[in-house]
Structures are given as structure tokens and as C-alpha cells.
Amino acid sequence: MYLKRLELQGFKSFAHKTVLDFDPGMTAVVGPNGSGKSNVADSLRWVMGEQSLKMLRGKKSEDVIFAGSDKKSKLSMAEVALTFDNKDRRIPLEYGEVVITRRLFRNGESEYLMNNQRVRLLDVVDALLRSGFGASNYAVIGQGTIDQMIMAGPAEVKNLVEEASGVKPYYLKREKTLRRLEQTEENLSKVSALLMEIEPRLKSLRRQAKRMEEREAIASELIGLQLQHFGQQFYVLETELGIVTDKFNQKIRVIKKLEIEISAFQTTLEKEEKQTERSDNFLDELEKKLKNLEDRKIALLEQLAEIKGKLKVESPVTKNFSEFQQSFEAILETLRADNIGEVKQKLRDLVLVFGESKNGELIKQQQELSVLIDQIVAETNEQKRVKIQLLLEEKQKKNFLTAEEKKFRVKNAELGQVKDELNSILVDKTRIDTRLEALNHEARQALGSKFDDLTPHKRADGSVDVNRISKLKHQLELAGGVDEATILEYKETEERFGYLSAQSQDLSQAVVDLRSVIEELDLIIKKQFDEAFNQISEKFVEYFRILFNGGQAKMSLLKADTESAEGMAELEDEAEKTDHIDGVKQKKAASQIVGIEIRATPPGKKLATIAALSGGERALTAIAMLCSMLACYPSPFVVLDEVDAALDEANSIRFAKILGTLAHQTQFITITHNRETMRQAHTLYGVTMGDDGISKILSLKLEKAEELVK
Ligand code: ATP
């Protein structure tokens, strides 16, 4: 990788587009004072991202834009493009050539481009840093600033050595890690504080939750036992109810049967009773008939008696009648079945004989009455027979009815008994129902939502331990109620505590890891720095002796006096002053080395501090330092702006030789008035400025350059 081309346009005195091509090795830029040579160096700094106005020798950003001259008006934009040969891919981009461009407009707008792609400043800085240089403190050494390399103090010297050794990226990494560590430690302490805050509450909540868990266990056992207990009781009662219901149904069936039977009896009896009623009426009529018959008989008998009386008083019929009677009876005596006709004739004759008598009329009446009476008697007898018959029948019927009634009563009694039994069964049933209802109520009260899990069952292993149930109930009462809010808070707090604990663990682990990363980085830094220091300090001594043609020099490490508070304060001051990323902590860590002290004693002198050196001696010492660094850790390119200005000819020659050697590894662009330096250069550019105030570049031969310098 090397610097291939520099293109300027509108940058400071380079108003026109100006191109400088470079080869590896050394390029010298020469020209009269004020021609714009240092502006070339400035343009290099600027395009590589330099932000310091002081370094750019300006007061405002826009000071880098061509400000105009008598002959040319000011420009609105400055642009510098730097082309690197990147065949070795030191810049980690897949391009054989990398062009970095920076533009600034007067309106303040600015932009960076890498191979014509707009990028951020950060990308430019990063790409250059990765390639092993960049805005390093010695990539562009400004005019009259070479001695600053050693005069800026031990910390700055140390910083330069670190930069050269390539240890800086590790410092950056360490710094980042350190920040992460600080952040992590801060987070850890916040998390720890939160954990400490939560822990007592969590403990209290845990105790409460434990009590609730125990309560839950008691409640669960109680519910289990109660489910068994009630299940068993329900089983017993429901079994009893089943039996009673069966009995009830059976009785109902019997009752129905009896009622049907009784109803049949009733129908029969009612029918019979209606018939009896009819018989009674008939008898009554019969009775009336008999009475009539009797009355008529009496009346007839009275008529008969009257007739008999008449016969007795007024006629001798009675005598004749006696004779007649005797004859009549004699005839009756002969009365036989076979001579009934004859008898009947005799009787008729007799009656005729009797009727022809004087009293015959009366007798006839008497006879007629007697016949009538006989008829009535016969009738009466007939009616009596009928009556008796009826009465007999009645009696028979009554007997039948009594038997049926008896049966009816028996059935009724039976029905009554069954109904009584049914009532008693109903009482039992009601009692069981009541008990079931009470049990249901009790179980609902006791089981709550678990009531639905209740199933009546028969326990094989005997009854439930009721004492245990009472004991558990008592324990539950003592345990108190369940506070859902507490449980919720416990869960949330527990979760939060768990989350924070895990976070705390992660953070603790991260702290350990980050510390170990820092330790590892410290080891690398220390190893690399020590190596760099040893090599550079050795080379420094060598170059010093070459440049001074003798004398003595020494680079030594300055360690922090961390034992005393003073030392610490010093260290902190130092860190503040240096304005570098390596703060106090880093200084402390990197073996407590706070700087590199340079002691230089030119030949034949007795000097201890560099402050006592002359300007040329300081420049030589600084050059020795720069060369030792470049020899050990070659930089891709270095711009030297009149670093040799203060050197006498002999020293200039020695310096030029050293540069010539180093130019094999490092590309030098050196702005110089020094002939020796020019002679070492492979390419020479002359910078001129006419009366238009615009710098121009000329490619020169050495002779021409020497002329230009004159
Ligand atoms: P020396 O050899 O004395 O160090 P030099 O060649 O290094 O001189 P520079 O410092 O590079 O000179 O250039 C200084 C010149 O550049 C001055 O004449 C100054 O007016 C001119 N200059 C600086 N900034 C601008 C600008 N923005 N616009 C125009 N000209 C500028």
C-alpha cells in the first residue's frame, strides 16, 4: 500500500485542479517560502479526516477553501482526493485502488467519499486505522513540530510508541470493554440494589405463601375427606330412599288394586240395595193388599153375622140349615175323585132345595158371603204366601248382602291398613328427603365449588374419620382466609426477583468475563508495548548516535507512583492533559506505566534533560525517535514538513541517509529546502505561486529543484 496520487482543487492556495503522483520511496516537495508546500501537507491531513483547525492552521473550517486573490475570486468548494494503491489490501476493502475524497462547501456542507461512494468520517478513519496508520500523530509531521515528539512529555512519547507498535487498537478495544464493564457494573449494582429492596418483601410474601400452601394442603385434604364423608352419607340416604320408594310404589300398587276391588264391591252392593228397595216397596203394597183383604173380610164377616142373626130370629132356616148342613157334610163325605161330577150335582140339588126354602134368600146371601169370605181368605192366604215368599227371599238377599258387606269391609279395612302403611312409608320418605336436603345444604356449604365432584359411593374401608375432618376444619380456621392479592403479589415478586437474580447472575458473569477480557488485553498490550519499547529504545540509541555522531541517549519507562495520593493525582492530571483515549484506568492497568522519559546527551556534553538541548539538537533527537519508530514499525507513508529545517549540513546529510534507508519500507513525502534530502528523493515536485496567489505544481529534475530552492 502506498500513496499514489493527490488531487487538490480549491484547497487553500490550490485554486485549480492540481495533481501530484507519487511513487513508493521518497518524494520531495520543494519551493519558495509561502508557495503552498505546507498546504500540500495540510491537504493530506484534511482528506484523512483531520478535524483540528489548529493542525490545519486555520480558524474556521472554511479556511481550507481557496479564499480568493487579487486576480481570482474565492471558490465555494474545496476538494482533495487521495488515491492509495491497495493491491496488498491493507485497507480492508476489495479494491486495488482506494480513493478517499473530502469536500467542503462554503455553506458548511461537507462530505466524504470512498471510491465515489458517500461515507461517514468514521468509515474513513476506520479504514485508515485498519490499514495500520491514519490520523496518527506522526503520519504528517508539521512544520516546526518535529521536536514536539519529544517535548510534549513522557506520556506523549509513550503514546507515540504505542501508536507505532500497533497496540492502539487494543487500547481502543480495552477502552470499549472498560466502558462496557463500567456500564455492566453500574447495572449490576442497580440490579443488586433492587434485589436487596425486593428480598425482604419477597421473604415475607414467601412466608405468607407457604402458609397459604399449607392451608391449601389442609383444605385439599379436608375436601377429599368431606367428599368421601358426604359421598358415603349420600349413598346411605339414597339407598334408604330407594328402599322406601320401592316400598311406597309397592303400596301404591296394592292400594290401587284394593280400590279397584272395593269399587267393584260398591257397584254390586249398590245394585243389590236398589233391588232390595224395590222388594220393600212390593211388600208394602202386599201389606196394603192384605190389610184391604182383612178389612173386606171383616166387613163380610159382619154382614155374615148380620145375616146369621136374621136367620136365627126370623126363620126356621136354622133347623133346616142344620139338616142341610148335615146333608152337605154327608155329601162331602162321599166326595171322591171319581164321583166328583155326581157330588157336584147333589150339591147343586141341595142348594136348589135349600134355596127354594123361605130363608133361602138369606141363606143364598149367607152362602155367597161365605164364598166371598172364602175367596178373600184364599186370596189373603195367597197374598200371605207371596209375602212369606218375599220375606224369605228378602232374608236370603239380606244374608247375601251382609256377606258382601263383610267382604267389602274387610277390603276397606285392608285398604285403610295399607294406606296407614303408606303414610308411615311417606313419613320415612319425608324424613329421608329432609335428611338428604339438609345433607345437600351441609355438603354445599362445606364443599363449595367442589360440590360438583361429589358422587355418592359406598366406602369399602369403613367410615370416614370424622374427627380428622373436625381437626382439619379447626386447623383451617386457625390458618385464616386466602388473600388472592398476596398470592398474586408473591407470584409477581417472585417472578421479578427471579428475573433480576438471573440478570444479576448474567451481569456478574459479564463482569467476570469483561474483566478477564481486560486482563487478556492488558497482557497483550503489555507484551506488545514492552516489545515495542525495547526495540524502539534500542534503535533510538543507535540513531541518536548516528545523527549526533556519538553521544548518549536513553529511553526509560516512567511508572506511576500509585502508592501515594500525590502519585495518583499526578496520574490523573496526566491523563487529563494528554487528551487521549488512555485514561487513568488504562494507565494504571498497563503496568502502571505513565510515560517514556527521554534522556539525551550529545557528544561531549553533560546534559540530563532534553529541555536543555538546542533547537537543532531537539530536532535531531526527535528525528532519532521518529526514525527508530519507523525502522521498527514501518508506516505506509509519512509526510515530513521541513523537519530538517534546523539541521546543519552535516546532520542533514546523515538524516537524508537514514531517510533513504527507511524509504525502502516507508513512503516519504518530504517538504524540504534541504539539498541532501532532495537528493535522496525519487520524485521531486516544485511548488510555485505567482502573483495570482495560486499555487502550482511542477515536476522537477534535481538540478531544477536545487535552483528553485536557491
Ligand atoms: P514556507 O516555506 O515559508 O513554509 P510554504 O510553501 O509552506 O512556505 P504555505 O504555508 O504552504 O507555504 O502556504 C502559505 C500560503 O498559502 C500563503 O501565501 C497563504 O496566503 C496561502 N493560503 C493559505 N490559505 C489560503 C486560502 N484559503 N486561500 C488562498 N490562499 C491561501
pLDDT tens digits along 302-361: 888 887 777 665 554 455 666 767 777 777 777 665 667 777 777 777 767 665 665 667
Q: What confidence category does residue 160 fall into, taking pLDDT thresholds of 50, 70 and 90? A: confident
Ligand 1 atom 5 nearest Cα:
34
Q: What confidence category does residue 565 fall into, taking pLDDT thresholds of 50, 70 and 90? A: low
Beta-carbon contacts of 671 under 8 Å, excluding residues fewer than 6 positions away, are: 28, 29, 30, 37, 38, 40, 41, 143, 639, 640, 641, 642
> Measured from the CA of 671, which atom of ligand 1 is nearest?
7
Q: Of 408, 439, 470, which residue is a domain's last? A: 439
Mean pLDDT confidence for 413-426: 90
Average model confidence (pLDDT) across the chain: 85
What is the spatial distance between Cα 594 and Cα 587, in angstroms, rounded to a whole number? 6
C-alpha cell at 172: 481502543
> Measured from the CA of 35, which atom of ligand 1 is nearest?
6
Q: Can you say how many angstroms the Cα of residue 509 is from the centroid of all Cα atoms in its chain? A: 28
Q: Which of 3-17, 445-459, 667-681 has the lowest mean pLDDT?
A: 445-459
For a pocket test of ligand 1, which of 6, 8, 35 has the largest count of ligand atoms closer than 8 A to its C-beta? 35
Cα 165 to Cα 169, 452, 635, 660, distances in angstroms: 10, 83, 10, 22
Ligand 1 atom 17 nearest Cα:
34
pLDDT at 422 over 80: yes
Question: What's the chain's Rg over C-alpha atoms?
Answer: 77
Q: pLDDT value at position 313?
A: 58
pLDDT at 586 over 50: no
Q: pLDDT value at position 684?
A: 92
Angle at 564 between CA 562 and CA 568, to 5 degrees: 50
Q: Are residues 292 and 371 in the same domain?
A: yes
Q: Which of 46-60, 577-591, 653-667 has the lowest mean pLDDT?
A: 577-591
Beta-carbon contacts of 529 under 8 Å, excluding residues fewer than 6 positions away, are: 161, 162, 165, 167, 590, 593
Q: If we measure between CA atoms, which residue out of 238, 235, 229 comes closest to residue 429?
A: 238
- Exposed, middle or buried, 566 (CB in 10 Å: 0-12/13-18/19+)? exposed
Query: What CATH code is carried by the domain that includes residue 309?
Result: 1.10.287
Cα 403 to Cα 87, 257, 270, 274, 390, distances in angstroms: 144, 21, 14, 17, 20
Q: If we measure between CA atoms, which residue out of 706, 685, 681 comes closest to residue 695?
A: 685
227 or 574: which carries more pLDDT confidence? Answer: 227
What is the spatial distance between Cα 507 and Cα 161, in angstroms, rounded to a whole number? 36
Torsions phi, psi for 35 (to 5 deg): -80, -20
Is there a contact between 640 and 149 (Cβ–Cβ < 8 Å)? Answer: no
Residue 541 lies in a domain: yes
562 or 406: which carries more pLDDT confidence? Answer: 406
> What is the number of structural domains in the chain?
3
Report for 110-119, 130-139, 609-618, 674-683: range of highest mean pLDDT: 110-119
Mean pLDDT confidence for 159-167: 85
Q: Are residues 581 and 496 in the same domain?
A: yes
Q: pLDDT value at position 337?
A: 57
Q: What confidence category does residue 562 fall into, taking pLDDT thresholds of 50, 70 and 90? A: low
Q: Of 575, 605, 634, which residue is a domain's last? A: 634
Alpha carbon of 379 to ligand 1 centroid (Å): 189
Q: Are residues 578 and 614 in the same domain?
A: yes
Q: What confidence category does residue 19 fall into, taking pLDDT thresholds of 50, 70 and 90? A: very high
Q: Are residues 615 and 706 in the same domain?
A: no
Query: What CATH code is carried by the domain that includes residue 710?
Result: 3.40.50.300
Tell me the angle at which helices 317-333 and 340-355 cross, rounded to the nearest 10 degrees. Answer: 180
Q: What confidence category does residue 78 fall into, taking pLDDT thresholds of 50, 70 and 90? A: very high
Q: Are residues 629 and 641 in the same domain?
A: no
Alpha carbon of 689 to ligand 1 centroid (Å): 9
Q: Are residues 570 and 671 in the same domain?
A: no
What is the spatial distance between Cα 212 and Cα 489, in angstroms, rounded to a whole number? 13
Q: If we measure between CA atoms, which residue out of 275, 362, 264 comes closest to residue 318?
A: 362
Strands 77-85 and 117-119: unpaired
3-state secondary structure of 337: coil
3-state secondary structure of 207: helix
Q: Name the one residue in this structure whose C-alpha cell is 415478586.
A: 493
What is the spatial distance between Cα 466 and Cα 2, in angstroms, rounded to a whole number? 100
> Measured from the CA of 641, which atom of ligand 1 is nearest?
7
Strands 77-85 and 97-105: antiparallel
Q: Are residues 510 and 648 in the same domain?
A: no
Q: pLDDT value at position 209?
A: 84
Q: pLDDT value at position 110?
A: 93
Q: pLDDT value at position 670?
A: 93
Is there a contact between 446 and 195 (Cβ–Cβ < 8 Å)? Answer: no
Q: What confidence category does residue 96 fall into, taking pLDDT thresholds of 50, 70 and 90? A: very high
Q: pLDDT value at position 662?
A: 92
- Exposed, middle or buried, 57 (CB in 10 Å: 0-12/13-18/19+)? middle
3-state secondary structure of 588: helix
For a pocket test of ligand 1, which of 11, 18, 39, 69 has the largest count of ligand atoms closer than 8 A to its C-beta? 39
Strand order in the sheet with 18-21: 18-21, 2-9, 77-85, 97-105, 110-114, 117-119
Read off the amino acid at residue 531. Answer: E
Measured from CB, residues less than 6 Å from any atom of ligand 1 are 12-13, 31, 33-39, 63, 66-67, 143, 693
> Measured from the CA of 143, which atom of ligand 1 is nearest?
4
What is the spatial distance between Cα 606 and Cα 612, in angstroms, rounded to a whole number? 10
> Measured from the CA of 673, which atom of ligand 1 is nearest?
2
pLDDT in tens, 258-314: 889 888 888 888 888 888 788 788 888 888 988 888 888 888 888 888 877 776 655
Q: What confidence category does residue 113 fall into, taking pLDDT thresholds of 50, 70 and 90? A: very high
Q: Are residues 279 and 413 in the same domain?
A: yes
Q: Are residues 365 and 495 in the same domain?
A: no
**How many other β-carbons are positioned within 10 Å of the β-carbon of residue 557?**
18
Q: What confidence category does residue 581 fall into, taking pLDDT thresholds of 50, 70 and 90? A: very low
Residue 558 lies in a domain: yes
What is the spatial distance between Cα 222 and Cα 469, in angstroms, rounded to a whole number? 6
Mean pLDDT confidence for 399-416: 86
Report for 144-148, 426-430, 499-503: range of highest mean pLDDT: 499-503
Q: What pTM does this model have?
A: 0.60
Q: Are residues 680 and 591 in the same domain?
A: no
Domain containing 66: what range? 1-136+637-710
Q: Are residues 488 and 575 in the same domain?
A: yes
What is the spatial distance between Cα 643 and Cα 234, in angstroms, rounded to a whole number? 112
| For the chain, percent of residues with pLDDT exceeding 70 | 88
- For the chain, give percent helix, strand, coil, nearest 5: 65, 10, 25
Is there a contact between 77 and 103 (Cβ–Cβ < 8 Å)? Answer: yes
315, HSE (Cβ side, Cα atoms, 13 Å): 18
Q: Name the one residue in this structure whose C-alpha cell is 458517500.
A: 118
Q: pLDDT value at position 198?
A: 92
Residue 401 lies in a domain: yes
C-alpha cell at 561: 507512583
pLDDT at 496 over 60: yes
Ligand 1 atom 21 nearest Cα:
13
Residue 214 lies in a domain: no
Mean pLDDT confidence for 154-173: 86
Residue 648 lies in a domain: yes
Q: pLDDT value at position 47?
A: 92
Q: Of 571, 605, 634, which residue is a domain's last? A: 634
Q: pLDDT value at position 709?
A: 62
Alpha carbon of 35 to ligand 1 centroid (Å): 6
Residue 385 lies in a domain: yes
Provide the sign of the torsion angle of the four alpha carbons 38, 39, 41, 42, taken in this order: positive
| For the chain, percent of residues with pLDDT exceeding 90 | 36
What is the spatial distance between Cα 483 and Cα 473, in angstroms, rounded to a whole number? 18
What is the spatial distance between Cα 369 and Cα 302, in angstroms, rounded to a whole number? 10
Ligand 1 atom 12 nearest Cα:
34
Alpha carbon of 494 to ligand 1 centroid (Å): 72
pLDDT at 578 over 60: no
Residue 548 lies in a domain: yes
Q: Are residues 618 and 508 in the same domain?
A: yes
Q: pLDDT value at position 118?
A: 96
Query: What CATH code is carried by the domain that includes residue 492?
Result: 3.40.50
Tell me, what DSSP letter sits at residue 664?
T
Q: pLDDT value at position 632?
A: 92
Residue 301 lies in a domain: yes
414 or 139: which carries more pLDDT confidence? Answer: 414
